[in-house]
Amino acid sequence: MPAAKGLDLSHLPPAQQKAIAELGISLQDEQLLWIAEHAMHVELPPDWVEFEDDDGNQAYYHAKTKRLTTEHPVIFKYKQFVDKVRKFQERMGTIGRKVKPHLAVIMNEVLNRIYRELPPVTPEIIERLAVLMYINTTTEHDTTRRLKIAIESYAEDQYDIALQAQQKADMDTFLHEVRNEQIRLEVLNKPDAVIMCTEIEGQPARVKCEQCKDFFSLEGFAATHATGKRKNHTTVKCEQTTCSVYPDQLATCEVDNTLFCDQAYEEVAQRQPHIRQKRKKVLGGLSCSEYPATVAEVLCEDCSDLYCWEAFIELHRRGNRLRHVPLRLDAEGQLYRAGELLPPEECARLIDRARLAREGGPWLAFQDDQLNTYWYHLSDKITTQQNPYL
């Protein structure tokens, strides 16, 4: 495989060199080498199988959707992430800008604020930091929230270290933490794209033609296979649960046998509030707050958070937390208190509150220089003194 042009990669492990080539990272992209560092540990998700095709090429097959590709499905997501980062750099005019020296300037500013007994960060600092880390604050609310937590805890640690030893720890821990989160949200947890009909625009695929090898909606297949030789073509099912409102999005919940993605459910519930009283079945399960790769098994009412049993037990060993009572959560997102199924509205309210506490939406809390709390809206870039969550 050809090495990326201009970069001296000879000191890097072969797996990383391979990842760099696969992701198409070149000289101008030296600041993106960390993405290849993650990509070299890539694993095939459980619903994919790997095999060698007739030409001896590595190929990947997804049994449910019948998707067949010669590109590793996770490497594909990494490439999309690299593209996204490049476009962001172009928009912001930061191509080739070195991250660490600029990060050091911001860190210094944050530390100075702490010395002056001010809250460590302001929305303006977070916005500048996000540009440096290739995070689009307008849309990537979870990553921005994590960025704020990471810089605050880094700064507190730094402050303690500086007081004791008058030395500076390096920024690698901070970079590592934020970038892990970016990879988790933007690559590893990114849902697969919906396979669309190749014939009728806007319709999700329901079958794959075994002879044409193309994907079709039922209508699209009928329209193209009514006459001639194609009449004898056979199909296999392409299984994907898509949103009934936005067919190019995967569904995340089901109400009254109708499938919705999160956005569609919210929009429909705004117009027809009575659907909130109906049982909402969560598809694919909710994940544990502590171990995001694990399915949540309980909801702690007092923490207002979702955990797997292991995480719940770990976090509730001591102090006040010993008294917290977990509600059992089943695979469909229903909650049980002492074995008793909760009413639909209470289930939905508790789960939505826990998800909001975790994901937070667009509002981010800050303190002003007098230590009064205010909220900053990441999309609209406005502030308010009124708690938007009440």
To the nearest whole angstrom, how small is the minimum distance from the Cβ of residue 256 to Zn ion?
Answer: 32
Burial of 34 (0-12, 13-18, 19+ CB in 10 A): middle
With CA atoms as reference, report the closest residue to 196 among 253, 234, 230, 246.
246
- DSSP for 157-179, written as a single string: HHHHHHHHHS----SHHHHHHHH
CB 246 within 8 A of CB 264: yes
Binding flag, residue 212, Zn ion (CB under 5 A):
yes
Number of residues that bind Zn ion (CB under 5 A): 8
Query: Which CB atom, from 279 or from 353, has the smaller least distance to Zn ion?
Result: 353
Which residue has tokens 């490439």?
Answer: 79
Query: Which CB atom, from 39 or from 308, has the smaller least distance to Zn ion?
Result: 308
Binding flag, residue 211, Zn ion (CB under 5 A):
yes
- Would you give the binding string for Zn ion spanning residues 298-317, x where CB under 5 A is met? --x-xx--------------
To the nearest whole angstrom, how small is the minimum distance from the Cβ of residue 320 to Zn ion?
Answer: 9
Query: Which strands sit side by side in the sheet containing 235-237, from one edge to the other?
Result: 215-216, 207-209, 235-237
Which residue has tokens 């190749």?
Answer: 198
To the nearest whole angstrom, how small is the minimum distance from the Cβ of residue 233 to Zn ion?
Answer: 3
CA atoms within 13 A on the CB side of 277: 3
Look up residue 305 and give its amino acid.
D
- The residue range among 181-189, 208-216, 241-249, 360-368 that interacts with Zn ion, by the rule CB under 5 A, is 208-216
Query: Which CB atom, from 27 or from 222, has the smaller least distance to Zn ion?
Result: 222
- The residue range among 9-17, 50-58, 91-99, 206-214 that interacts with Zn ion, by the rule CB under 5 A, is 206-214
- Would you give the binding string for Zn ion spanning residues 225-264, x where CB under 5 A is met? --------x-------------------------------
Query: Which CB atom, from 130 or from 347, has the smaller least distance to Zn ion?
Result: 347
Rg (CA), the chain: 24
To the nearest whole angstrom, how small is the minimum distance from the Cβ of residue 148 to Zn ion?
Answer: 23
- The residue range among 23-31, 70-78, 196-204, 211-219 that interacts with Zn ion, by the rule CB under 5 A, is 211-219
Which listed residue (324, 328, 337, 353) binds Zn ion by CB under 5 A? 324
Q: 377 has which bridge partners? A: 363
**In the range 9-48, which residues lie near Zn ion by CB under 5 A?**
none
* Two structure tokens written together for 24: 């198409």
To the nearest whole angstrom, how small is the minimum distance from the Cβ of residue 303 to Zn ion?
Answer: 3
Which residues are near Zn ion by CB under 5 A?
209, 211-212, 233, 300, 302-303, 324
